[in-house]
Structure 1
């Protein structure tokens, strides 16, 4: 190990004096926790399992404060990373949680599918995959879609290793941006083509007829098998992950496009080399959102445009209310 790398590793575990309170990402998570808890109480009679949801939120809050106190036993860069990484891992809980709210509201897919039909004269999500079912198209797009979470990890770890002074800000902006999208998903229940099209039938889709289905998804979560080369390695990875964690929620705007755009902004500001390495995967990911029928094209367009505003908003929030030195 080179001298510089060895010194870098030592710094990761070097005990330091740190501020006593919560990190910014923990504060924004607790705020989102509180807001959604209030919403649960307000919608209590209509929700499927509100008591369990409130218990989950209480446990997340308790865990957050427990980690804060345990951190004081060994404050260092690595333990700070673990503390923040745990909060970011909770996004896998908060995402499907949006479905528990929006399932009680009338579905709006008919509005967005009709808008798509009016704007483009058809459904780009259908055209795209039907015209390019070949493996050499399907596999790269599915690879790009699967690269979503590795992209988040790579950007976060890069800042942790090379720009630790910005690490807390980056983690805060990422989590806050996710929460902004999640709040939209709660009140704008759009499931996307892969859920809506099988619900109304392919014949109606072909005829451009998009009926309202009300609260259909309250009791149905059938997922349309993804289009493309069914024997592909990345195709099966995406299919497996969607069958486990996907819900009829979060179609508008596309958080895959929005969040990956936020990540690319961070990559550009941090390292042009990192940006260049991620850019091909970013393009494939954006195309894949429509190709695998996870989103309408307008979802992806609005996801891209919204990313810049959300990035600016989250950055302003951090500087205005949350910015503090992690270590003294």
Structure 2
């Protein structure tokens, strides 16, 4: 018992939070799998979620073994919690409705209508073109670079203290975001406002990426708040603080990402505002 308590209290904050979220992830993913199994049709994404659990467990056991045998391999302990964070995010993202089915997107739609007099995603239809769609798909996909680029550079510069500030803040932001998804489940505009769109979004070169993003979140309830914006704003903050040149490099990318969330119908404007508040 003493050994177990010693290990628990030796965990870093991002490791502790991962442990706390892992059990609910397993429970709700299993619940979703059972629900669809009874119906005789388990969606591919839920099957993927179950497979991800086993992979995560395997990686976790390997992680514990490495830490025990090679305690000086700090790179494993520095980076794996981020991987766990993304795995947990993906599964919880897919199973929000099994925790809370009380959608709030109708309220988000009303707030956007009150602020602008129109639905920004519907209003943006007038600018749609295959070329612009490709540009915004690429801008949206850049999120996967923006969320770790500052941390990667700091790590290669061996600025480990600054790296930890960035990584812990980013990971904690993700987990708070997951919790808010569960409290405030909301479908994105591309689902909730589907009846109001008169123009279909089609890209050219980037269309497969768009299709993959939409397929992975076809029943998404993770619109509020926008973690794309929250994590990107955090990256910009730390870029300004530690790597000023990177801030200026990221600025146009983040602006394009924010615009892409509206153009591609992934978020309401109030989601972006909530993402900024979360980042702060």
Same fold (TM over 0.5): yes
Match of 1:240 among 184, 187, 212: 212
Deviations 1:296-322 (A, max 9, x none): 1111122123211xxxxxxxxxxxxxx
Matched, 1:138 2:133: yes
| Structure 1 partner of 2:91 | 97
| Structure 1 partner of 2:142 | 147
Query: Post-superposition, which runs of at least 4 consecutive aligned residues in structure 1 deviate over 4 A?
Result: 50-63
Output the CA distance in 1 between the equivalents of 2:51 and 2:244.
44
Give the greater-gyration-radius structure (CA).
1
Matched, 1:161 2:150: no
Local SS of the residue matching 1:264: helix
| Structure 1 partner of 2:32 | 48
Distance 1:55 1:148, change over 3 A: closer
Kindly report the root-mean-square deviation, in angstroms, between the aligned alpha carbons of the 2 structures. 3.2
Match of 1:83 among 77, 80, 92: 77
Match of 1:302 among 271, 274, 280: 274
Match of 1:174 among 170, 192, 198: 170
Conservation of the 8 A alpha-carbon contact between 2:150 and 2:238:
yes
> What count of residue pairs does the alignment treat as equivalent?
257
Distance 1:91 1:194, change over 3 A: farther
Local SS of the residue matching 1:48: helix
| Structure 2 partner of 1:262 | 234
Match of 1:32 among 21, 29, 52: 21
Match of 2:107 among 92, 102, 111: 111
Shift of 1:257: 0.7
Shift of 1:72: 4.1
Output the CA distance in 1 between the equivalents of 2:57 and 2:168.
17
| Structure 2 partner of 1:197 | 193
| Structure 2 partner of 1:321 | none
Conservation of the 8 A alpha-carbon contact between 2:134 and 2:203:
no
Distance 1:266 1:226, change over 3 A: farther
| Structure 1 partner of 2:203 | 230
Distance 1:245 1:156, change over 3 A: farther
Distance 1:57 1:22, change over 3 A: farther
| TM-score (structure 1 length as normaliser) | 0.68
Output the CA distance in 2 between the equivalents of 1:306 and 1:192.
18
Conservation of the 8 A alpha-carbon contact between 1:116 and 1:123:
yes
* Structure 1 spans left out of the alignment, 5+ residues: 1-19, 207-224, 309-328
